[in-house]
Amino acid sequence: MSEELTFGISMSGSVKAGEVIDPSLPTSAAVQAEQAGFDSVWMGDHIFWHGPKLEALTSLCFAAAATTKIRIGTSVLLLAMRNLVVAAKELSSLDYLSGGRLDLGIGIGGENPAEWEACGVPLGDRVRRTEEGVEILRHLFSGDTSTYAGEFHNISDVELQPLPTGPVPILFGGRKQAAQERSARLGDGWLGLWVTADRFSAAVEIQNNERARLGLTDPYSFGMMLWTYVTEDIEGGRLEAAKMLGKLYGMEWEPFERYLAVGTPEQIAETVQDYLDRGCSRIVFNPIMRGAGFADQVAALGSDVLPLVRKG
């Protein structure tokens, strides 16, 4: 497992139904995060959602063009929803143009069956499509001439150019044990979401056990996306944050409360440290506020929380 601690910001790219996304978000958020000392910016991925949402790879192109050193990541890309070879070209180009700054988070999804149907991909195929897709991506990213005959993809004597600048880390999301074991087998790391600290510990154990069973010894990292809201009003802030997430996800808000890091910078730093103590080496802060409040939250995280968690 990598011991380097990194801290990122999720740009999310979504707002609740009826609201309008600021078109400057990918550039302004990435520039602000870079200037504030964060190591990475991330964008989630859905084609159709409960409200307006930006497409991940397009948004990361804007983020990369506006910055020079901060890493850019998908959190997480629904790879099975895309034409695999076209996605490989887009990803390799994004890494190449950004100077090797891409972290590729991949997920299975399934929360919104309508988008899978609209994209022509049966829900029942998405796991097998994803696993096969990752295998092909690694072939293509290697620079070798690739031929592959699989269940869903057939390519013959093709060579991807230009290649990514260097190895593209592939991270997996997923809360279920099967998803975590898949990450251990196929990935370079895992990026958790909607996972309490105790459940994070269990996920680390599951993946370490699977890697040991398979005899895998390559570097592997554990990360966590953490919904955050810096505020002095702890009780009111938790309620406001949970209700906002409920609107973003089109669900009742109560289940979200257990996953929130809400409070003063010191309280949020304590929550982060709990995950770090359990084997986490990558924290991605996901500010709950949208609009002008988003920039305020990134500023507070950068100035007040980041110094606390960096010094441990």
Span 272-282, average pLDDT: 98
Token pair 């801290």: residue:
7
Cα–Cα distance, 312 to 308 (Å, whole number) = 6
CA angle 36, 39, 42 (to 5 degrees): 100
Res. 312 pLDDT band, cuts 50 70 90: low
pLDDT tens, residue by residue, 246-267: 888 888 877 788 899 999 999 9
Looking at residue 1, its pLDDT comes to 39
pLDDT of 41 above 80: yes
Domain map (residue ranges) of the chain: 6-176+189-201+218-310
Decide if 228 contacts 283 (C-beta within 8 A). no
Residue type, 19: E
Q: Single out the residue of 240, 235, 207, 244 nearest to residue 222, CA to CA.
A: 207
Mean pLDDT computed over every residue of the chain:
95
According to CATH, the topology of domain 6-176+189-201+218-310 is TIM Barrel (3.20.20)
pTM (2 d.p.): 0.96
Specify the higher pLDDT residue, 122 or 17.
122
pLDDT of residue 245: 87
Q: Which of 214, 232, 220, 217 is nearest to 281 (CA)?
A: 220
Nearest CA among 118, 123, 109 for reference residue 56: 109
Does 15 sit behind a cis peptide bond, omega within 30 degrees of 0 on the bond before it? no
